[in-house]
Amino acid sequence: VVKLRKSGVPMPRTPQVDAERCTHCGYCVKHCTAGAIIKGDECNTVAEKCIKCCACVKGCPQKARTYDTPFAVLLSDCFKKQKEDRIIL
């Protein structure tokens, strides 16, 4: 990630949405913990709220949401399994 950032690769602010595929099922609204997707306006994302977790991308039944960036593989690896809780003193 550090290498990519230093090379100046721009990171998209939010996932992209293919409006042709979206059926407005509401899955992404329900599973976006950041509240970045508004019911009834599922084809857009509030950039200021999006934390780029990709929960909407992974769960969209229509595959309407994508996050096309060289960071995607790294992010996917990072979020593949839940990490154990740690206490930092």
**Nearest-angstrom CA–CA distance, 67 and 3:** 19
Residues 62, 72, 81, 87: which binds ligand SF4 (CB under 6 A)? 62
Measured between alpha carbons, how far is residue 40 from residues 45, 81, 86 in Å? 12, 31, 38
Residues facing 17 on adjacent strands: 65
Q: How far is the CB of 16 from ligand SF4 (least distance, A)?
A: 10
**Interface segment toward ligand SF4; rule CB under 6 A; list 2-10, 51-59, 69-77, 80-88:** 51-59
With CB under 6 A as the contact rule, the residue among 3, 8, 23, 40 that binds ligand SF4 is 23
Instruction: Work out whether 71 is an interface residue with ligand SF4 (CB under 6 A).
Output: no
Q: Which is nearer to ligand SF4, 48 or 89 (CB)?
A: 48
